[in-house]
Structure 1
């Protein structure tokens, strides 16, 4: 190969790469790495960009801890962003600004964790700021380029700057925390005056105006209805709303329908849109009543269902006017009026891999496998799932398993979403039980199907389990080493089996473990207890809760997570 030919080839490759880069409009990330300084040291290295933020850290007494050992994420505003903010708060300089305001400003820009853009999603970050409020991330257009947008207030101009004690994301504006509660935010908006008056008359204004110092109890989510949404249903005043729903005449009475209406619009916990769509149903403050959720063409739709052949159109949340953070939660805007319905039992097809701790790992969920190792019996890496402690240390692990390759012998053939969760089980050295908290299930009588991917670790492997719900044992056992029998759908159902995926491969097995009568609408507890045998490869894909009077096997799930019903 002569020199001229080689140079021509290199030039051609550079041109092709340039064309590809130009053709693809993508998020500007601009990663940068330096481990020779800590956070404060990095700010000091670039005074033209960060001297004012560094001055704020000095004045508030935060420079010392942000220059010491630790693991932090800092959203660092540039000098121009700080100047704009100082003007907004009527401060001529950093020294002239109110010290408490500066302290809160710093806390709102710091997270006690290392968060890279790999875990950003359309919604809140997985951990709160030091101020106790969550930041919301998204993507916006900045000068014709898609960039990460934080709290709808600032663009990231340089991301993932790795320093000795954490991560820095440079931003072009100061982030401003919420200063009002859910109640006060809605009260400040005249377009929600009817809904706010209903809050006051039912007593929920006081509930939504409280900031509990205990962050485990603080957060609430409100689905608010504007005057326009109510007017579309013929409700043009609070008097009209009260006339329609208040059958007792006293909205403060918990048994009054207007009181129930308001309770049904409040979800427990802080649920941004990105959180809402991860669960098929969410519990409300109205006892035993849930709001169901679907994602349809990027629309978040509430309470859309078909009952006895009658289609009930759902209510869509307005994305552009939702995800409004407050000091005690978040509120969303419903495009139309809705109220609670005393529903009949409804099937829940639960993807067990949607554990909150898995979902927040955006770099792994539906991208790659990840394994958690418990360091001790008290070490519990999951809030809504636990398992027994095995005397064999190497088996105290839990794996989120993902592989989309069509040749993969576990998930690639036909597992829903190409993923599953895996836990070693068995006497005497491995964990002897596995317990999970379900999504909310509407009260009623259901058949319960354990949908798993059959594996046999060795020719002698066996893993027989009993299943219990809320402490009550179900009559049928299940075994992770047993494949689905052959037969028609009707024949399989008669012997408590079904095919739950599009794949006909017998390793994807649905086992009916019993019928359970749920007395209340709420989240439930389901537990696997090992009875005999042992193995590490126990892959759980889904659990189906299907009302006894509804078809049990018609719904099939595809590897992309979608489903279809057999005719």
Structure 2
């Protein structure tokens, strides 16, 4: 130390500076390891005292740490006023008095394991279920002139789309409650469904609808009910159970599954969990009534049941009351219908399905069935309602088209010789572009039918086509090379029919043809799938006109189809 003090002052100062620098370099540096300072959900709750009571629920149930981890969650946060209202409702003064199971269920019901902004909300269920397993239903309401988005019909969203580090937050003004009543209990609790409840008990369906789920993660284990209110029954002329028994119970034993009153109920019970959002996109609903279905139709924002056109006659349907439907139960979902429904008993009737009469073409309002020639492509990404195929949206050759000939009085050998003077064109009908093209048919009544496929012939570059009905391959194939010249020897039509051909259009053109592909048993009334499958790498366009479903006992030759028009030609 004495030697250090004997050094010149400048040198001593330099030495001290170097020693301090060495110590600084040896000390641990605090490095900022994160670049994103956005709060996670739990951190956000701790920063906002308005949500402290819901945070307490998460702390008690250990979901607070869960919501502080990496992920993409959606959480609906009830504010303190909402949680306090919940405590008042259950008769508790603090959250510590609420059973742990109840708090855990509440926490799970408010969390989705996927990020969902309000822009993805529809008037119906959110596509992703909650962690509890039940779906949340969103909608719109107007209270005191103020519009808001509701959740489960009761809670209003008061702040939305709050982006956080691990998800998105929506603030609501009420605590969401787990649906813990079965369908039977939910129906019985509604005084407007008292007669429907009596019918359920008389037929034994009350017990079925009161069964708990065996697996709440499996939507196939749920049930869906289409209920009728007392007002609907009264409008149909029924106010008592005895009146319904007198009208429907033909075996005088409603507990018998074959009794008409039992079928009356089973026709209103659907397998699977089906919210309105599901029903709106399902052409026909399978019911618990054996082999019976309900057709559906979306008219603007109204879902209509059993509104169909048969033999050119419109049969008015029954609407679902959207404002009160989508009621979640512990084992399913409840809907309300606005009219009395009866099972439609029908005999097999012919169905003439134009391949151009599909939703994808009908929405081409500037072209479809309008005067003059038209040609409009339909790409893969614009399909999926009534037609699908296995092409790629990026493939310029993977398309089908609406192809219509110019109108005129003269019938040519081309498309003008087809029914309605239009065809569905499949471009490059082959495995590289579109080998399998599947169409949704109109409603076909259950029964036994012959299936005929009509097309516009092209003699080269095409080949054979297999036909499948609901996945079942038909025994005969369509040879697109064959045209009307199969009739060059003036073969009688009855002989042609025995060979599996016929002259389906009038006047007849040698450029169109019709092939019997097989006989099928249609087991359920509803829409079905008809698939065309190419059996080669076709290098030219294929043109399809009609698929006929004629009951086997019906005349297969008449009526014919007016070439170039959209009318039928009756037998002279």
Question: Under TM normalisation by the shorter chain, which class is it?
Answer: 0.5 to 0.7
Distance 1:95 1:282, change over 3 A: same
**After the TM superposition, which residues 266-277 of structure 1 pair with which residues of structure 2 at under 5 Å, given as runs?**
266-277=269-280
Q: Which residue of 2 aligns with 1:325?
A: 328
Following superposition, the deviation at residue 77 of structure 1 comes to 1.7
1:462-482 superposed Cα distances (whole Å, 9 cap, x missing partner): 797523123222645499xxx
1:224 aligns with 2:227: yes
Partners in 2 of 1:318 and 1:237 — Cα distance?
23
Q: Which residue of 2 aligns with 1:61?
A: 62
Q: Which residue of 2 aligns with 1:30?
A: none
Q: Is the 8 A contact 1:468 1:526 kept in 2?
A: yes
Following superposition, the deviation at residue 297 of structure 1 comes to 5.1
Partners in 1 of 2:243 and 2:568 — Cα distance?
45
Q: Is the 8 A contact 2:41 2:68 kept in 1?
A: yes
Q: Which residue of 2 aligns with 1:13?
A: none
**After the TM superposition, which residues 243-322 of structure 1 pair with which residues of structure 2 at under 5 Å, given as runs?**
243-296=246-299, 298-308=301-311, 311-322=314-325
Partners in 1 of 2:337 and 2:343 — Cα distance?
14
Q: Is the 8 A contact 2:453 2:517 kept in 1?
A: no
1:37 aligns with 2:39: yes
Q: Which residue of 1 aligns with 2:72?
A: 71
Question: Which of the residues 514, 517, 521 maps onto 2:520?
Answer: 517
Distance 1:313 1:93, change over 3 A: same
Following superposition, the deviation at residue 271 of structure 1 comes to 2.3
Q: Which residue of 2 aligns with 1:181?
A: 182
1:235-277 superposed Cα distances (whole Å, 9 cap, x missing partner): 2211111111111121121211111111111122222223222
Distance 1:546 1:154, change over 3 A: farther
Q: Which residue of 1 aligns with 2:466?
A: 466
1:299-323 superposed Cα distances (whole Å, 9 cap, x missing partner): 3322233444655332222233322
Following superposition, the deviation at residue 228 of structure 1 comes to 2.3
1:454-495 superposed Cα distances (whole Å, 9 cap, x missing partner): 9xxxxx99797523123222645499xxxxxxxxx9469978
Q: Which residue of 2 aligns with 1:507?
A: none
**After the TM superposition, which residues 305-454 of structure 1 pair with which residues of structure 2 at under 5 Å, given as runs?**
305-308=308-311, 311-345=314-348, 426=430, 441-444=444-447
Unaligned runs of 5+ in 1: 1-33, 354-367, 373-381, 389-394, 402-407, 415-419, 455-459, 480-488, 499-510, 555-563
Q: Is the 8 A contact 2:466 2:533 kept in 1?
A: yes
Distance 1:492 1:98, change over 3 A: farther
Q: Which residue of 2 aligns with 1:533?
A: 537
Partners in 2 of 1:552 and 1:166 — Cα distance?
62
Q: Which residue of 1 aligns with 2:212?
A: 211
Distance 1:450 1:412, change over 3 A: same
Q: Is the 8 A contact 1:426 1:534 kept in 2?
A: yes
Q: Which residue of 2 aligns with 1:88?
A: 89
1:371-408 superposed Cα distances (whole Å, 9 cap, x missing partner): 79xxxxxxxxx9x99999xxxxxx8x67899xxxxxx9
Secondary structure of the corresponding residue to residue 236 of structure 1: coil
Partners in 2 of 1:308 and 1:432 — Cα distance?
33
Q: Is the 8 A contact 1:121 1:138 kept in 2?
A: yes
Distance 1:430 1:189, change over 3 A: same
Q: Is the 8 A contact 1:443 1:517 kept in 2?
A: no
Which has the higher mean CA deviation after the structures are superposed, 234-243 or 167-176? 167-176
Partners in 1 of 2:158 and 2:403 — Cα distance?
39
1:299-352 superposed Cα distances (whole Å, 9 cap, x missing partner): 332223344465533222223332222111112222222221212457598968
Following superposition, the deviation at residue 547 of structure 1 comes to 5.5
Q: Is the 8 A contact 2:466 2:534 kept in 1?
A: yes
Unaligned runs of 5+ in 2: 1-35, 361-377, 406-423, 481-503
1:191-223 superposed Cα distances (whole Å, 9 cap, x missing partner): 322222221222211221123223233222111
1:274-296 superposed Cα distances (whole Å, 9 cap, x missing partner): 32222332111111111122234
Q: Is the 8 A contact 1:43 1:51 kept in 2?
A: yes
Q: Which residue of 2 aligns with 1:110?
A: 111
Partners in 1 of 2:341 and 2:131 — Cα distance?
36
Which has the higher mean CA deviation after the structures are superposed, 114-123 or 515-524? 515-524
Q: Is the 8 A contact 1:147 1:156 kept in 2?
A: yes
Q: Which residue of 2 aligns with 1:163?
A: 164
Following superposition, the deviation at residue 134 of structure 1 comes to 1.2
Q: Is the 8 A contact 1:425 1:463 kept in 2?
A: no
Q: Is the 8 A contact 2:162 2:170 kept in 1?
A: yes
Structure-2-length-normalised TM-score: 0.65
Q: CA RMSD in A?
A: 4.8
Partners in 2 of 1:93 and 1:440 — Cα distance?
58
Secondary structure of the corresponding residue to residue 147 of structure 1: strand
Q: Is the 8 A contact 1:245 1:258 kept in 2?
A: yes
1:193 aligns with 2:194: yes
Q: Is the 8 A contact 1:448 1:543 kept in 2?
A: no
Which has the higher mean CA deviation after the structures are superposed, 98-107 or 466-475? 466-475
Partners in 1 of 2:128 and 2:548 — Cα distance?
32
Secondary structure of the corresponding residue to residue 520 of structure 2: strand
1:155-193 superposed Cα distances (whole Å, 9 cap, x missing partner): 222323333333222222211221111111111223322
Secondary structure of the corresponding residue to residue 86 of structure 2: helix
Partners in 1 of 2:119 and 2:546 — Cα distance?
29
Partners in 2 of 1:227 and 1:490 — Cα distance?
52
Partners in 1 of 2:202 and 2:65 — Cα distance?
49
| Rg larger in structure | 2
